[in-house]
């Protein structure tokens, strides 16, 4: 269990993290979302012991990070923003160095590095210096060093940044597999990443938590939650008719074709009423879908439209 209690950090006049409290349990993949400058990286740096908080407590499986930083850090794997340092080392030398720092035994060191080179597809670049690698490879080397000692806690700052779509997919699979018995916290700007890998998401804005829930719970705040999209084969008086149904908040027509989005009033399920109305009128429907909600819209709504 990770327990964060009333964590705060200021840089001169900027309050980067403002009285943040939350807990994360094993098996959870927690996504940290927020606009640029929201305080995600600063929070991660404090959880990993790289930055000292001005106030508040951080406990990693019962160990206070400021009380016993070495014991706490032994349990953590951290992928910071950007590329791994020591760019003049080859990938293999760097991973051997990290394995020594993490005090892996000789045999375990060789076995584990071999496993990770294969898992993260680093074989073709293992003798290349890190400075000469592409962004995607640097990111994968960063991930390899973060999970080398098989930590119980993984803190990953934008883990798929710079990866191509195939690599993004592979890394997300890897995170999902790793998460089974670990605590994983990832920061990301990619809302599809939250839906793909996170069991829970926290939205941070100006250093404070403004939403906390499963991706589905957050999507339920969207005005698209349980909205119905329709496409008809020919023109009908759809907007006027459906707008009069009980529970319908708004009907918006598409700019092209005979498509509509029917928005419900909050918490109302309008699917039965809409289907019955269409059936009664004998209208020919080409497509009909009920939407889950849009995380990007919830994010914009809660953060006031900032990037
Ligand atoms: N070392 C520092 N010195 C001064 N200000 C800092 C420092 N580190 C962060 N900040 C400021 O603290 C605030 C939070 O920054 P942080 O990097 O934690 O945000 P973030 O949510 O990770 O942003 P991004 O999504 O852009 O990475 C920002 O206003 C940033 O400029």
Last residue of a domain, one of 220, 253, 273: 220
Shared domain check, 158 and 280? no
Say yes or no: CB of residue 37 within 6 Å of ligand 1: yes
Residue 76 has pLDDT above 80, yes or no: yes
The Å distance, Cα 29 to ligand 1 centre, comes to: 23
Task: For residues 68-82, give the mean pLDDT.
Answer: 92
Nearest CA to ligand 1 atom 16: 39
pLDDT tens, residue by residue, 236-292: 999 999 999 999 999 999 888 899 999 999 889 999 999 999 999 999 999 999 998
pLDDT for the residue 89:
95
pLDDT for the residue 209:
96
Task: For residues 54-64, give the mean pLDDT.
Answer: 96
Q: What is the mean pLDDT of the chain?
A: 92
Task: For residues 110-139, give the mean pLDDT.
Answer: 93
Of 69-78, 233-242, 294-303, give the lowest mean pLDDT range: 294-303
User: What is the rounded CA–CA span in Å between residue 299 and residue 193?
Assistant: 14
Q: Would 191 be classed as within a structural domain?
A: yes
Shared domain check, 31 and 168? yes
Q: Would 206 be classed as within a structural domain?
A: yes
Q: Would 296 be classed as within a structural domain?
A: no
Domain of residue 248: give its range: 226-291
The Å distance, Cα 21 to ligand 1 centre, comes to: 19
Task: Give the mutation target among 40, 156, 203 for probing the ligand 1 site: most ligand atoms within 8 A of CB.
Answer: 40
Shared domain check, 162 and 141? yes
Q: Would 153 be classed as within a structural domain?
A: yes
Q: Would 297 be classed as within a structural domain?
A: no
Class of residue 52 by CB neighbours under 10 A (exposed 0-12, middle 13-18, buried 19+):
exposed
Task: Dig out the tokens for 88 from the structure.
Answer: 């003049």
Ligand 1 atom having least distance to the Cα of 38: 21
User: What is the rounded CA–CA span in Å between residue 52 and residue 47?
Assistant: 9
- CA-based nearest residue to 169, from 193, 140, 152: 193
Shared domain check, 246 and 163? no
Task: For residues 100-122, give the mean pLDDT.
Answer: 92
Shared domain check, 204 and 57? yes
* 165-178 helix and 135-147 helix, angle to the nearest 10 degrees: 10
Task: Give the mutation target among 8, 9, 10, 11 for probing the ligand 1 site: most ligand atoms within 8 A of CB.
Answer: 11
pLDDT for the residue 201:
95
The Å distance, Cα 41 to ligand 1 centre, comes to: 7
Q: Is 280 left (phi over 0), alpha (psi -120 to 50) or beta?
A: alpha
Last residue of a domain, one of 165, 195, 220: 220
User: What is the rounded CA–CA span in Å between residue 6 and residue 57?
Assistant: 7
Say yes or no: CB of residue 213 within 6 Å of ligand 1: no
Shared domain check, 182 and 99? yes
pLDDT tens, residue by residue, 202-251: 999 999 999 999 999 998 888 899 999 999 999 999 999 999 999 999 99
The Å distance, Cα 124 to ligand 1 centre, comes to: 35
pLDDT for the residue 153:
96
pLDDT for the residue 148:
94
Shared domain check, 274 and 204? no
| Tally of domains within the chain | 2
CATH number of the domain to which 274 belongs:
3.30.70.100
Shared domain check, 127 and 265? no
Share of the chain above pLDDT 70, in %: 98
Q: Would 46 be classed as within a structural domain?
A: yes
CATH number of the domain to which 149 belongs:
3.40.50.300
pLDDT for the residue 306:
56
Say yes or no: CB of residue 53 within 6 Å of ligand 1: no
Shared domain check, 100 and 10? yes
Shared domain check, 256 and 279? yes
Residue 299 has pLDDT above 80, yes or no: yes
Say yes or no: CB of residue 41 within 6 Å of ligand 1: yes
Q: Would 307 be classed as within a structural domain?
A: no
Shared domain check, 232 and 192? no
Residues in CB range of 252: below 8 A, 6 or more apart: 260, 261, 263
Shared domain check, 101 and 142? yes
Residue 179 has pLDDT above 90, yes or no: no
Last residue of a domain, one of 220, 239, 267: 220
Q: Would 301 be classed as within a structural domain?
A: no
Task: Give the mutation target among 18, 41, 53, 156 for probing the ligand 1 site: most ligand atoms within 8 A of CB.
Answer: 41
Task: For residues 75-91, give the mean pLDDT.
Answer: 88
The Å distance, Cα 39 to ligand 1 centre, comes to: 6
Residue 183 has pLDDT above 90, yes or no: yes
């Amino acid at each position: 269990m990770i327990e964060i209690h009333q964590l705060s950090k200021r840089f001169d006049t900027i309050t980067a993290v403002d009285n943040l409290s939350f807990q994360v349990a094993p098996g959870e993949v927690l996504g940290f979302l927020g606009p640029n400058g929201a305080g995600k990286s600063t929070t991660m740096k404090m959880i990993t012991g790289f930055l000292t908080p001005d106030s508040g407590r951080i406990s990693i499986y019962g160990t206070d990070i400021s009380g016993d930083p070495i014991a706490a850090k032994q349990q953590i794997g951290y992928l910071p923003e950007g590329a791994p340092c020591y760019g003049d080392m080859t990938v293999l030398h760097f991973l051997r160095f990290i394995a020594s720092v993490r005090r892996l035994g000789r045999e375990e060191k060789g076995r584990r590095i071999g496993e990770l080179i294969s898992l993260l597809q680093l074989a073709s670049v293992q003798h290349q210096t890190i400075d000469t690698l592409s962004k995607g490879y640097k990111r994968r080397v960063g991930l390899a060093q973060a999970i080398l000692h098989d930590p119980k806690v993984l803190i990953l700052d934008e883990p798929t940044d710079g990866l191509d779509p195939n690599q993004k997919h592979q890394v997300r699979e890897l995170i999902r597999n790793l998460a089974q018995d670990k605590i994983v916290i990832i920061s990301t700007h990619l809302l599809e990443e939250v839906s793909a890998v996170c069991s829970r998401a926290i939205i941070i804005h100006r250093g404070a938590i403004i939403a906390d829930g499963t991706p589905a719970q957050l999507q339920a705040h969207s005005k698209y939650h349980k909205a119905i999209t329709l496409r008809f084969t020919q023109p009908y008086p759809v907007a006027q008719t459906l707008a009069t149904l009980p529970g319908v908040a708004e009907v918006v027509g598409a700019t092209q074709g005979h498509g509509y989005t029917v928005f419900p009033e909050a918490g109302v399920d309008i699917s039965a009423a809409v289907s019955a109305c269409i059936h009664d009128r004998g209208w020919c429907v080409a497509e009909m879908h009920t939407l889950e909600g849009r995380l990007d819209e919830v994010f914009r709504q809660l953060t006031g439209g900032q990037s």
